Amino acid sequence: MKGIILAGGTGTRLLPLTAITSKQLLPIYDRPLIFYPLNTLLKAGIKDILVIVSPDHSGNFLNLLGSLFRGFGINISFIVQKSPRGVAEAFILAEDFLDGESSTLVLGDNIFEDDFTEAIQTFSEGGRIFAKEVPDPERFGVVEFTSDHSVLSIEEKPEHPKSSFAIPGLYIFDHTVVDAAKSLLPSSRGELEITDLHRYYLEKRSLDVRVIDGAWFDTGTHESLFLASAYAREHRLGERFHPMVNDALREFNMEFKKIVSLKK
């Protein structure tokens, strides 16, 4: 299993904050947002991770993550997405990195309280998505499913949702995902939609869903960014990170302080 974090995009809804840096590098309480999806993958035992970034901020990601986990057996690679052409395009960009293996993709602006270790490590074939019950499902992709977690239907921002379960930004697919993504046609927005990729696996009856109970934040707006930061502080989410992540952060901070002191 390999991991992908999609951290491209322009983040226009977060202007002026994103005029100077990537959305995924904005702070969530005491650490940059990118560490939350990174922690989700590392806690599940994934050691090979590809971060897909935009051209304008690629250097910032490299400066932060390029050597952060070099002493922990974690391999972090980077690839530039020149322009955002849909979530499903991430798998095409990652073709060489995946090299025929299964993958878990996390959107770089999503924060999850749940631990996905069991769901990731028990995955075998097809596709696996997740569902979170929300009060306003019409704002999201919506999944309808049976009591045994077989998916019945998927709709994108439906006017009359068939369920109250939204699909958050974490997806698991087997080795066929690259060819599946290549088979998709661009939507009216000119993008390869992740919903269409879900439907591809649904039509093959190889898509299942797991329900998550913990908090989930899609931090694409100023309000959601603030709420996520407040929740992370109140519930001490950073203390629940994989110890390796917190150890790496401490080493990074100490090294950075040494560099600063030498310049004085």
242 pLDDT above the threshold of 90: yes
Number of structural domains (the chain) is 1
- The percent of residues in the chain predicted with pLDDT above 70, rounded, is 98
CA 109 – CA 224 distance, rounded (Å):
10
CA 167 – CA 150 distance, rounded (Å):
14
pLDDT in tens, 143-186: 999 988 889 999 998 999 999 999 999 999 999 999 999 999 99
> Residue 79 belongs to what domain range?
2-263
The answer to whether the beta carbons of residues 27 and 102 sit under 8 Å apart is no
Q: β-strands 216-218, 110-112: how paired? A: antiparallel
pLDDT in tens, 116-136: 999 999 999 999 999 999 999
| Band (82; pLDDT cuts 50, 70, 90) | confident
CATH code, domain carrying 27: 3.90.550.10
| Band (195; pLDDT cuts 50, 70, 90) | very high
| Band (264; pLDDT cuts 50, 70, 90) | low
